Amino acid sequence: MCTLSLSLKAQDGEPVREPKGKFAYLICTKIPKGVENPVKLLRGTKTEEVSLSLRSASLRVKLPTNGKFQLVKTAPEGVGELVEGMQVIAETQIPKEVREALIILTPTVDAEAKKAGLVFDAHVQDLAKFKGGDSLYVNFTKELIGVHLGESKKMLKPNSSLIIETGATDQPLNTAVSYWRRKAQGEAWDRISSSTIAFYPTRREICFFYPRSNGRIGYRGVTCPVEE
């Protein structure tokens, strides 16, 4: 499990009052065929609909106090793992110390998980260190990924993540960005793409790298807001 602040502003003369409980934003790299959208989040014995998007994070949702995250769908008896009469299609446990999380949903490729009825793998990213204006990079491939953001040059190992501070703390910042791939140590780097991206202090940017069936590396950007 990979573990990725939402700022709370007090009124003049009043202390900051943080909401109780655990909260999360959901984002997904792909919505598999047959998955209903909105999906259903199980909280206790009740469900709440949450809309998934490939380009932006969901609205913030409240999680059960025990930190158990489960997406479910209606299913006939005997199909998959049933909880409150529902089939579980994604689940994970939010670490105790994480109050606000980004939950990244990726289609599962595990045969046993599919047999159990699971559709998504759920990856947890703690939002405590992910500030407005920053950029998060997540590598779901088996290759090395290079990220050049302005003067910063970072390398992402397979199945890892990193946060880069862009400097967009007070106002928007346009920055040159390029992505690179390398299959193994010692091999040459191949450019995936390059562009200029605008970073804003009011939002956080996320980029996923994933393997495509044609052997290329795909990537997708997602925006996550900063709550005030």
pLDDT value at residue 80 = 54
| Percent with pLDDT over 70 in the chain | 87
What pLDDT was estimated at residue 5? Answer: 31
Neighbours of 86 (CB within 10 A): 18
For the chain, what is the mean pLDDT? 85
pLDDT in tens, 215-225: 888 898 988 88
DSSP state letter for 99: S
Q: What is the tens place of the pLDDT at every residue in 106-139?
A: 998 888 988 888 999 999 989 888 889 999 999 9
Which residue(s) pair with 225 in the sheet? 203
pLDDT, position 4:
38
pLDDT given for residue 210 in this prediction = 87
Using left for φ > 0, alpha for ψ between -120 and 50, and beta otherwise, residue 14 falls in: beta
Taking residue 204's Cβ as centre, other Cβ atoms within 10 Å add up to 27
Tell me the CA end-to-end span of the chain in Å, nearest whole number.
28
Please give the pLDDT value at position 76. 61
What is the predicted pLDDT for the residue at 82? 60
Residue of higher predicted confidence among 13 and 205 = 205
As a whole number of angstroms, the distance between CA 104 and CA 125 comes to: 8
pLDDT score at 129: 81
- Per-residue pLDDT reduced to its tens digit, 185-203: 778 999 999 999 999 999 9
pTM for this structure?
0.78
